[in-house]
Amino acid sequence: MAAFAMVLAAVGLSAATPAVSKGRTFDGHPDLSGIWQSMSTANWDLQDHPAQAGPFFQLGAVGATPSGQGVVEGGEVPYKPDALKQKQENFKNRWKDDPEVKCYMAGIPRANYMPYPFQIVQTPQSILMTYEYASANRVINMSKTPVEASVDTWMGTANGHWEGDTLVVDNTGFNDESWFDRAGDFHSDQLHVLERFTLIDSDHMNYEATIEDSQVFTRPWKISLPLYRNIAKNAQLTEFKCVEFAEELLYGDVRRKAK
Amino acid sequence: MKAQSWLLASSFAVGSLAFGQSAFEAPKTPWGDPDLQGVYTTDDLNGVPMQRDAKYGTRRFLTEQELAERAKEVKAERTTIDTGVRPTTGFWALVKDGGVDAAAAPAQWIEYARHATELTSLVVDPPNGRIPPLTPEGEKRRAAQPKYYDMRPASWEDLSTYDRCITRGVTGSFFPSIYGNGSQIFQMPGEVAIRYEMIHETRIIPLDGRPHVSAGLRSYMGDPRGHFEGNTLVVETTNFIGGKVDVGGVPYSEDLKLTERFTRVAPDIIDYKITIDDPQTFTAPWTVEFPIRHEPGYQIFEYACHEGNHAMHNRLSAARALDRQEAAKAAQADSK
């Protein structure tokens, strides 16, 4: 109850001071450092989706897709007609073609709402976001000199700045290989992602990503979801190196068969 | 990866390892910890052997004349690489192609030293710069490990965790290599993070004195715990997965304990020292020490190793072709 009262007090004071009870970094910005995870089912499908059986009956309920509400503002992803056909094709082949199946890096925004945690290490010059899934990471350049993407990458090239108490991250330089979810939502190498991280209170933040890709979508669109801090006393990021779990799938055809 | 920066090479003073004698005052973070932050590279260590040549005895540094010789070699390598040819001297003389007419890596993949380093070896203890003898079990493990130049792997399991783009472990991620020698240190109150260019690893090192996780939770990069001793960050790492990743040419056991010491000794140089203690594998602990250097213009790039690992499918596919060739020959011999 005491903690609850403190949150209320903080909200009440929000006109004068930001509603952050955890405090701030030494340079005065909201402290986003810590281990975060989504509770959404966005990684299964960004849009509203019912529960579905998984691809292998042997896995029963364990392999099934949970139902969930979408995180796309307005509900629909505004695909161009040809791109929509591609998405539907991707959906059909999702258990084979989703880069997550192959343990490939998730890209942005997907890395932030996978069912694995990620950790933020916040410094004035750069912010490290390191992801449990596939040991992926990215560094957001916070200096006044923007970094230009010199090559296309999975995790993109990120330049950040603070707009009041919101961390705004501008991402470019993506390849066209990552997906947004297990339902086949995709993009081209023209992807531009503008992210906004805003603390709601010390243990919750709102995550928004505006997605722009004129080759695939008719207009920019936005996802929005909360992220939750892992408040366990002994919380630490553990390791999920998944290459070994994908090798039979990727290279099984050229393994020496037992005679 | 470097970014057009070796022109700045001459600013690197010879004798950089004469640490601790200057009046250098280590910078502090706003909350009072020694400030180790920045982007660093070990590219300059390319050409320094892991173990010391017997001719140097217990001598850790090259003489001025020997250093001038190495500087010549470094320059020659740089020139060959810049002209798109893989060098054949120094470290590169050790890189063999398994007898096939193909290079291990094209020249543009390769990093090289921008400054000659005066170290005679990376190993500094034992004082002869040699890795202590292996235990019998360590010898067994060394003999059984995957061969990089195995031309007929039955599967990926016959290849190393590096070939498979899984990991090179803590030491392999940091020790100088043909590429991917960048690292970046981040600090917050109570925490240090190190990001490695090699296979995009990150280690988060808590400084809050928490105990290690239990033996039931093991990982390739281990479970690091850190604290400061004066201006030095000391990191102890345990809870490794044993038998898969090598250090000093032999896969270490799950009892491996690494003790690392990071000390800023000049505005752009951190002295890095690591003691490798694995009684199941080595008959004594041994220590590697080298400087890591901040180099203006050096950028860390995403190394999507697994995502781009076409080599794995190609190698296995080639091995199966050899299998078929052999089977056909055998069938032909049978029919005669």
Quote the pTM value: 0.90
Look at the block and give the residue holding tokens 């000391």. B234
- Contact A239/A137 with Cβ under 8 angstroms? no
Res A21: pLDDT: 39
| Chain A nearest CA to B261, separation (Å) | 21
> Residue ranges of chain B with pLDDT lower than 50?
1-21, 98-102
Q: Categorize the per-residue pLDDT at A139 as very low, low, confident or very high, splitting at 50, 70 and 90.
A: very high
Please give the distance of CA A60 from its chain centroid, rounded to a whole number. Answer: 27
Dig out the tokens for B76 from the structure.
């020659």
Residues in Cβ contact with A242 at an 8 Å cutoff, skipping those fewer than 6 apart: A103, A133, A134
pLDDT for B111 equals: 85
Can you tell me the distance from the alpha carbon of A138 to that of B31, in angstroms, rounded to the nearest whole number?
25
Higher pLDDT among residues B319 and A8, named by residue: B319
A104, A125, A251: residue with CB nearest B156: A251
Taking 90 as the threshold, does the pLDDT of residue A8 lie above it? no
Q: Is A190 on the interface with B (CB under 8 A)?
A: no
Q: Is the dihedral of CA A216, A220, A225, A229 positive or negative?
A: positive
State the nearest Cα–Cα gap between B305 and chain A, in angstroms. 10
Q: How far apart are CA B75 and CA B70, in angstroms?
A: 9
For B12-77, the DSSP string reads: S-TTTT-TT-S-----B-TTSSB---EEEE-GGGTT--SS--GGGTT--B--HHHHHHHHHHHHHH
Count Cβ–Cβ pairs < 8 Å, chain A vs chain B: 105
Of the pLDDT bands very low, low, confident and very high (cuts 50, 70, 90), residue A53 is very high
d(CA B75, CA B87): 11
> A33, B184: Cβ pair inside 8 Å?
no
- List, in sequence order, every residue forming a beta bridge with A223; answer none if it has no partner: A72, A209
Q: How far is A111 from chain B (nearest CA, A)?
A: 15
* ipTM value: 0.90
Q: HSE on the CB side for B281, CA within 13 Å? A: 25
The candidate with the shortest Cα–Cα distance to B2, out of B334, B294, B309, is B294
pLDDT value at residue B96: 56
A224 inside 8 A of chain B by CB: no
The Cα–Cα gap between B228 and B262 comes to 9
Residue A240 distance to chain B (closest CA, Å):
9
Interface test with A, best of B37, B186, B300 (most A CBs within 10 A): B186
